[in-house]
């Protein structure tokens, strides 16, 4: 399985518009972070997790020519706002499958009413096939996907496990029963916003504690704010099996 980090930044991305923070001014390409998303590929299948406001550029940058579907972790803007840009895929492939909690689908109906319109639908609007994710395993083609439920402040969020790989973002609290589902994972991706605590995200310390609990061979941090610091400096402080993800990074699991 191949995983491509399409974006590794927090909701505003890095650089933040108008910011003179040194990390926002950094010349290191690893300090430039689009909104968080990954591409997961195996055999001929290609799935995207989340579809934020940078989706169009991310698809161009990754030279992605087709997708089998989109999985949503939750309905916040930095994870859903790119849905309109599935149009090139829709024109080429037909209706696009999306997978999300039913509350998230409801929110998409509100934000993108024209996508779900059943009467007088605008001809240029894309059409999606809705698939409800419950907190139990489901299949994507031949792959079993295990949802991992967490809380983002008070909001329920799904992470996903694909065999030896798991991707969790926007987590602040994960119950023991859900952590159990991650046992034996070889590569874990988890959010680490910044050094200081935050009400809805793991800070660096909480992310490292969580990684210790799961005990994967390797872990990558994502959903990073400019306040975490320079990529190069932060990575030096991490345990030797923990890395900061960066946009464009590819890993084979
Ligand atoms: Zn987010």
For the segment 39-49, what is each residue's pLDDT rounded down to a tens digit?
999 999 999 99
Ligand 1 centroid – CA 112 distance (Å): 19
* Band (131; pLDDT cuts 50, 70, 90): very high
Predicted confidence at residue 109, as pLDDT, reads 98
Q: Residue 73 in contact with residue 170, Cβ under 8 Å?
A: yes
**CA atoms within a 13 Å half-sphere pointing along the CA-CB vector of 114:** 9
Query: Mean pLDDT, to the nearest integer, of 194-205?
Result: 97
Q: Residue 57 in contact with residue 65, Cβ under 8 Å?
A: no
Please tell me the pTM assigned to this model: 0.97
Task: State how beta strands 96-100 and 187-191 pair.
Answer: unpaired
Query: Mean pLDDT, to the nearest integer, of 4-24?
Result: 98
Whether cis (ω within 30° of 0) applies to the bond prior to 15 is yes
Ligand 1 centroid – CA 151 distance (Å): 12
Ligand 1 centroid – CA 191 distance (Å): 9
Q: What structural domains does the chain harbor?
A: 2-16+29-244 (3.60.15.10)
For the segment 133-184, what is each residue's pLDDT rounded down to a tens digit?
999 999 999 999 999 999 999 999 999 999 999 999 999 999 999 999 999 9
């Amino acid at each position: 399985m191949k995983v491509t980090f399409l974006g590794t930044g927090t909701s505003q991305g890095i650089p933040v518009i108008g910011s003179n923070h040194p990390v926002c001014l950094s010349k290191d390409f690893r300090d430039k972070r689009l909104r968080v998303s990954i591409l997961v590929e195996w055999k001929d299948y290609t799935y995207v997790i989340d579809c934020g406001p940078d989706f169009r550029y991310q698809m161009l940058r990754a030279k992605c020519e087709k997708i089998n579907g989109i999985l949503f972790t939750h309905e916040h803007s930095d994870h859903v706002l790119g849905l309109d840009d599935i149009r090139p895929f829709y024109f080429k492939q037909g209706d696009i499958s999306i997978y999300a909690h039913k509350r998230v689908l409801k929110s998409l109906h509100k934000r993108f009413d024209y996508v779900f319109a059943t009467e007088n639908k605008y001809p240029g609007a894309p059409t999606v096939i809705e698939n409800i994710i419950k907190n139990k395993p489901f299949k994507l083609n031949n792959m079993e996907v295990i949802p991992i439920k967490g809380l983002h402040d008070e909001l329920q969020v799904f992470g996903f496990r694909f065999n030896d790989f798991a991707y969790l973002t926007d987590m602040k609290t994960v119950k023991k029963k859900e952590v159990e589902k991650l046992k034996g994972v070889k590569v874990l991706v988890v959010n680490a916003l910044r050094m200081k605590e935050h009400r809805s995200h793991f800070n660096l310390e909480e992310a490292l504690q969580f990684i210790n609990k799961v005990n994967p061979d390797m872990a990558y941090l994502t959903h990073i704010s400019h306040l975490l610091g320079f990529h190069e400096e932060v990575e030096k402080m991490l345990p030797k099996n923990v890395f900061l993800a960066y946009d464009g990074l590819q890993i084979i699991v």
